[in-house]
Chains A and B, each alone.
Chain A
Amino acid sequence: MNPFRLGLLRAAIELRQVLRSRKDFYSYLSTPLIFLAVAYWRAGGDKGQTTQLVPAGGVGSTIFMFGLMTVPQFLFGDREDGTLLRLRGVPGAMTAYLTGKTLFVLATMIASIAVLLLGGTALLGVGLPSSPTQWLTLCWVLLLGIAAVVPIGAAIGALLPAREALALYLMPVMGLIFVSGTFSPLRNLPTWLQDVASAFPLRWIAQGVRSALLPDAAKSYEPNGSWQHLATLGALTAWVLLGFLLAPRLLRRMAARESGSRLSEREQKRLTKAAY
């Protein structure tokens, strides 16, 4: 069978696994629900501009978290348990795996974003774009944002040497979520922190999403009083290019380095640790 069709099949099977397991289902659902809860709580009675920030920040954070936290964890887990090694010995299976994982991540991401946007509309009256132009903006920002973080996430997953490194890596990524203007206006932060955040994709994804969801007047809260679409396009495109340049090389290198004896070694270590 065609490896891309097998990839589609893998995505369908893995999505079904999530739907079958209550624990998984709720853990995927929890991310958008937490963002909605925060938004609702901050809204209190009045629906100020800061309240409106939260669902938009939630969309940006969801993309960022899936791409840079979930994807590396998937890849890391599949390397640790021998899934990738198994697939390497099967014709066409690596292509199917990458196709399947991409589709799986896209589906779960889009589902989370949909919950967030529809929930925001229902609870707070903010959430969906209000004009065709804004819809268009939402589409390109989401597409570009996803393409900017998923390959980078895969590259990082291929580089992470051990479980400890994964934990260590996740901390600064979490930190970035709080300094990227997702939950409070970026201009309230010191300039140097704004500059740091601007080097990473989340700040741009979040700003782009705000420009698609909030009324035009809200742009006065942005660092220089405009939506900066051109800068967003530029920054995200640069990340997309970097990701597509790095990810295939690093994935190939990772696959080439895997072998049965490496796997057994790790397994041995895991069992020794578990014994203590």
Chain B
Amino acid sequence: MSRFKLTVNGELQEVDVSPDMPLLWVLRDKLKLMGTKFGCGIAQCGACTVHLDGAAVRSCTLPVSAVTGAVTTIEGLAGTGDLHPLQAAWIEHDVPQCGYCQAGQIMSAAALLATNSRPADEDIDAALAGNYCRCGTYVRIRKAVHTAASFYNADAGDQG
């Protein structure tokens, strides 16, 4: 067991865990942030996607000892705002079915929009290739990402 200091959703947290423990389980079992999901444990399904300094990472295979940057989870994605544009778009397009994978989908999409605010379908497919949706909501996921992107571009007069 070792002590680790983590910044999660802007708050400093201290946990006493095995250095090997993946970030996923620190978030879920120790910090009780349940929005990040367990799906496979081998970084294949993306349900556990969080941001590390803004980049999408699979928290199920990332040991807590390797976490060097600020962690953002779905609970902290909107920051001080009400909803992140992607969250609003997910609701507008009625994306979720069972809903289990959607936090991971949104986190992957948010990392994409942070670097590419006008993604083509191919960009979305590439950025979300690591996120399974067993219910098959992919059609609406693409639409919702485009809608959220148009929010970013609204100021420039481009509604996408």
Please indicate whether A and B come from the same complex rather than being unrelated chains.
no
Which residues from chain A sit less than 8 Å from chain B, CB to CB?
none
